[in-house]
A and B are shown apart, each in its own frame.
Chain A
Amino acid sequence: MNYILEGKNINKHYGNFQVLKEINIAIPEGQIFGLLGPNGAGKTTLIRTLTQITAPDSGEILFKGLPLKSFKSSEFGYLPEERGLYRKMKVGEQALYLCQIKGLDKKDAYAKLKPWFEKLEMESWWNKKVEELSKGMQQKLQFAITVAHNPKLLILDEPFSGFDPVNTETIKNHILELKNEGTTIVFSTHNMASVEELCQNITLVNRGENILSGSVSDIRKSFSKSLFQIKFKGSKVAFANALGFQFEIDEIIEQSDHTSALVLAHQGAGSKELLSSLIQHVEVISFNEKLPSMNDIFIDLVGRSQSDSIKQ
């Protein structure tokens, strides 16, 4: 796999407090990559070191396999979680200024901003002052400004905050479109549903450490508790008899025309045994393995470490 950005053994202290501990992170090119972690885990600091806003105490950052030495702001588009605009400036003036700061000349900046203003239906805002815009409108403008200069790597920290569901959907579609055009996107959020929906790979950071990395599907499988979701028609007694000693009912709900059950497999037992035994006793309508959601995994890992620290 080609990595667009890699951080190797990154350490960062603020005074006596170690914010990042020997962090390794690799962001594959052309994907949407999830950077997850609870509040205060060091995500923002990690992003800042990766984008060279702050220098790490030690460690190495590689951009397309080469050490990142000079400041490459034109290659990055960064939408920070805490973001703002100059309130007294006009929308158009501000958009041009922020694009020019990225290295575009004025003409080029205008040419690249214009389609985004059209796509996001913001053309009529051009001569308005920023302070006249609502929060959601400002967020939209910030998104447009971040992506307008066609960065190779886009870092979006909570990009959906402040948006209504309609605008969230619009922005989500634009993010997917950008990915299809070849942009690598680092996506930092607490919204685990959107991680499952958008990201191929993730890294989970907790207390300055990388505690989990990999593809979303692999991670979900590895955290599987062998839980099966089964819908069937037939008697509950027959169903229970079919399970034998290897399986256990976790939950069973009778519905109008069928019954749905959650079945936990004991060690060693798999879906094959369960299904072949069930078919003989009841009419199976649907059968699938229930993988844990990213939300469950997140709460499991982060919550466990938090209760550990309380015990200590």
Chain B
Amino acid sequence: MSANKIGLIIRREYFTRVRKKSFIIMSLLGPLIMAGVLTFAMWTSIEESDDQKILVIDDNYPFFEKLDGSDKLSYSIMDISLPKGEALLEVSDYTALLYLPENILQSKSGQLIFKKQPSIKVQRQIEETVQQYLEISKLKEFDITEGDYNRLKAPFNLLTFQFKGAGAEAEETNMLPAIVGLVFGILIYFFIFMYSVQVMRGVIEEKTNRIIEVMISSVKPFQLMMGKIIGVGAVGLTQFALWILLTLVLALGGQFLVLGDKYDAAQVKTPMTDMVQQQVDQEQSLNLTRLSQKDNLFNKIRRINFPVMIAVFIFYFLGGYLLYSALMAAVGSAVDNDTDTQQFIFPITFPLLLAYILSFNVFENPSSDMAIWLSIIPLTSPVIMMIRVAIGIESADMWQVYLSMALLVGSFIGAVWMSGKIYRVGILMYGKKPSLKEIFKWLKY
């Protein structure tokens, strides 16, 4: 019977929120933004698909005798004025006009006037070509031969590998898992914050509406509190699931639109769709990257273990959410209106905020003492451990994960118990705002 009642409360809390316009808008907007960012990242990472035919106007003609293009990018250098060049651009099939002014050696800048915006990569390529040409032309000033100049150049590439023991093949690391971890960590921060505040608002709403007394003549206060916490948590998970799903659909759609003919369908479908396929691809791409440096974003994304990431996210979101929302329910029960909550919200959410701020440090230095402690302490662990897990935790350090998880479970049980006691008294108290000391007294009522 009582389980039935909790079920009813969960259902009400869940459906009234999921049906809200704000929930639907958030569910659609989140993935649109995420997919937008992803698509943009992919778009900038690939080559320009359109051929670029660039008209170059050199005011110092014939200073630039020849600019090296590529099969997608060609330059035609002309000795005409800028207005004439623009007129020519209009009637010809040139895609852009590169203007190199007379004082180019002093101003160190030129202009690119385009018909259709070329990609950042193309812009970079033009920049490099002109820069190299200027550098070589300057060599004469310093009396250096081109051969000496090329020998002077010392390109250096740092590839980093995780030590896996002598003899074992070291694993190449890259920044991407850390970035994804940071994104997930921040996502956890926002989810915990957003939904635990919703629990608090819900409690205050019931209190100010005065429905609370009707409710608790039918159900126990603890059932009402837990029903609300679970119901709102389910809304959070639903939102997360929708985000993942819609992001996937949009990202795949975006990828398809951007890449179109460049990648075949088999490759387009790979990210996250098929776990087994992913594993195989992962190993293949790992071997590939060790041999060649053509490690593009797709391969990197594919190497992240998303199922594990999502599982860890769900655990830490739920744990952190239960902990914080229980505390927030207690706050909501103790006050009569939103404005009175400020003094209590700040001390409670401070650790969460701290975790969020420090997450950037952890991102840079995931194995520092600070990172380890913050990933174990329950109030900060959801955000910090998420980042550490994404970057990768050594099997010797796995005890930290287990300890962190156990502490989180223990502390949310403790928080729920304590908040239940405060809630039971608080919801029937109206009038003056209680002090923290008074609230602690309620534990004994």
A-side residues, CB < 8 A to B, are 14-15, 48, 51, 53-54, 71, 73, 76, 78-80, 82-89, 97-98, 100-103, 142, 145-146
Chain A residues with CB under 8 Å of B215's CB are 101
Please determine whether B209 and A54 come into contact, CB atoms closer than 8 angstroms.
no
Chain A residues with CB under 8 Å of B9's CB are 101
20 contacts between A and B (CB under 8 A): A15-B441, A48-B428, A53-B428, A71-B220, A73-B217, A78-B214, A80-B213, A82-B430, A83-B210, A83-B211, A83-B214, A84-B211, A84-B214, A86-B205, A86-B206, A86-B211, A97-B8, A98-B218, A101-B215, A102-B218
CA distance A158 to B145 in the complex (A): 102
CB within 8 A of B16: which of A79, A80, A85, A88? A88
Chain A residues with CB under 8 Å of B208's CB are 84
CA distance A83 to B209 in the complex (A): 7
Of listed B9, B216, B218, residue having the most chain A CB within 10 A: B218
Of listed B1, B5, B214, B216, residue having the most chain A CB within 10 A: B214
The 6 closest A-B pairs by CB, nearest first: A84-B210, A84-B209, A78-B217, A80-B213, A101-B218, A84-B211
Chain B count of residues within 8 A CB distance of the other chain? 24
- What's the nearest-Cβ distance from chain A to residue B426, in Å? 12
Chain B contact residues: helix, strand, loop or mixed: helix
- What's the nearest-Cβ distance from chain B to residue A24, in Å? 23
Q: In the complex, given contacts A53-B428, A80-B210, A101-B218, what are 11 additional A-B residue pairs having Cβ atoms less than 8 angstroms apart?
A: A53-B213, A53-B216, A84-B208, A85-B211, A86-B16, A86-B205, A87-B209, A88-B16, A89-B16, A98-B218, A145-B214
- Map CB proximity to A onto B214-242 as digits: 1 under 8 Å, 0 otherwise: 11111110000000000000000000000
CA distance A170 to B216 in the complex (A): 28
CB within 8 A of B213: which of A14, A83, A97, A101? A83
Please determine whether B213 and A82 come into contact, CB atoms closer than 8 angstroms.
yes
Chain B residues with CB under 8 Å of A86's CB are 16, 205-206, 209, 211
Chain B residues with CB under 8 Å of A73's CB are 217-219
B302 within 8 A of A: no
Chain B residues with CB under 8 Å of A98's CB are 214, 218
Specify the chain A residue showing the minimal Cβ separation from B20. A88
Chain B residues with CB under 8 Å of A78's CB are 213-214, 217
Chain B residues with CB under 8 Å of A53's CB are 213, 216-217, 428
Chain B residues with CB under 8 Å of A146's CB are 214
Please determine whether B217 and A80 come into contact, CB atoms closer than 8 angstroms.
yes
- What's the nearest-Cβ distance from chain B to residue A145, in Å? 8
Specify the chain B residue showing the minimal Cβ separation from A51. B217
Chain B residues with CB under 8 Å of A83's CB are 210-211, 213-214
Specify the chain A residue showing the minimal Cβ separation from B211. A84
Of listed B205, B217, B219, residue having the most chain A CB within 10 A: B217
Chain A residues with CB under 8 Å of B213's CB are 53, 78, 80, 82-83
